[in-house]
């Protein structure tokens, strides 16, 4: 995925795979566990991906991430 760091590309891959397997996106805690990080860096990375236009949030919804 051009324009992304390796860690960001991995995060998007994990979100997409989890979503395809489960029918919903992972929580921040689940993402942290799946990627071997703590929740704070995971949250920061998600916010950066949203700013880059690679993820969106659905307002007012739990597990609201969506890969663009």
pLDDT (0 to 100) of residue 36: 93
Task: Enumerate the domain spans of the chain.
Answer: 6-67
Query: Can you say whether the dihedral through the CA atoms of 42, 47, 53, 55 is positive or negative?
Result: positive
Q: How far is residue 34's CA from residue 52's CA, in Å, rounded to a whole number?
A: 22
Q: How far is residue 35's CA from residue 65's CA, in Å, rounded to a whole number?
A: 16
Which tokens is 11 given?
Answer: 């995060």
The CATH number that domain 6-67 falls under is: 1.10.10.10
Which tokens is 66 given?
Answer: 């969506």
pTM: 0.87
Going residue by residue through the chain (68 aa), what tens digit of pLDDT does each one get? Answer: 568 999 999 999 999 999 999 999 999 999 999 999 999 999 999 999 999 999 999 888 888 888 88
């Amino acid at each position: 995925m051009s324009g992304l760091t390796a860690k960001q590309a991995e995060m998007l891959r994990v979100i997409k795979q989890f979503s395809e397997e489960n029918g919903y996106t992972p929580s921040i805690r689940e993402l942290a566990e799946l990627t071997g990080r703590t929740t704070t860096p995971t949250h920061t990375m998600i916010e950066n991906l949203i700013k880059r236009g690679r993820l969106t949030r659905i307002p007012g919804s739990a597990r609201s991430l969506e890969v663009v």
